[in-house]
Amino acid sequence: MRSNAPALLPVLRSKLQAGILAALLLNPDQELSLTDLARRAGGSLSGVHNEVERLQQAGILASRQVGRTRLVRAGTSALVEPLTRLVELAFGPQQIVTEEFGELRGVAELLIYGSWAARLHGEPGPEPHDIDVMVVESIEDPVDRADVYAAADRAEKRLAKAVNPTVVSARRWATRSQDDALLQEISTRPVVKIPLGAAEIQA
């Protein structure tokens, strides 16, 4: 029987549970409705409801009713802090790269590629030891390389993993020449697109 456990952190029961925990534990001041959680975690409303019930019984999540809407947030159990660290180590790159790189001037597109992106998409393999980030710079307003490397340094400290930024021009990314081995490989492998000018993940 094929497991539905996430390749990045297979100790969790499912990708849906991982998505719920990433959305809430990595944003502890945020409350989300079940509908929002279903959208972010990529599951059905009934599936999210069942997972939230299990996690709330353990004190990992908490919720309150506002009219007909149930708002869910991180709980106060002693399990929350160590579990948050585990979730951050496994799924945090998407959140932290968004926060550190997403507001940089001159960035036209931002991607995580390589082994971490592959694991997030469910491809099995060893734990990724670094995070590969591609920064596509705007034609009109090229990115400041110093800002990119400073963002990578901040992300490294938060993730305790090496963060490897690669800056490419918008023209190079758009054409993706057959002779450009790096971009050809990235184009055919799983990637995670990072939202620009925002600091929340789409789990």
User: CA-to-CA distance for 196 and 155, rounded, in angstroms?
Assistant: 16
Q: Mark whether 152 and 176 lie in a shared domain.
A: yes
Taking CA atoms, 55 is separated from 40, 98, 169, 180, in Å, by 17, 26, 44, 47
Q: What is the pLDDT of residues 3-29, one digit of tens each?
A: 466 776 667 888 889 889 988 998 888
For residues 110 and 31, give the distance between their C-alpha atoms in angstroms, rounded to a whole number. 27
Do 104 and 65 fall within a single domain?
no
d(CA 7, CA 118): 9
**Percentage above 90 pLDDT, the chain:** 61
Query: Which amino acid is residue 166, in one-letter code?
Result: T
Query: Cα(90)–Cα(24) distance, rounded to whole angstroms?
Result: 14
Residues 155-191 pLDDT 10s: 998 888 899 999 999 999 999 888 999 999 999 999 9
77/125 same-domain check: no
DSSP one-letter code for 102: T
Q: Which residue has the tokens 């450009």?
A: 180
Checking if the pLDDT of 198 tops 50, the result is no
Residue 1 has pLDDT above 80, yes or no: no
What is the Cα–Cα distance from 133 to 152, expressed in whole angstroms?
A: 9
Q: Provide the CATH number for the domain around residue 109.
A: 3.30.460
Judge if pTM exceeds 0.75.
no
Which residue segment(s) compose the domain that 68 sits in?
Answer: 15-81
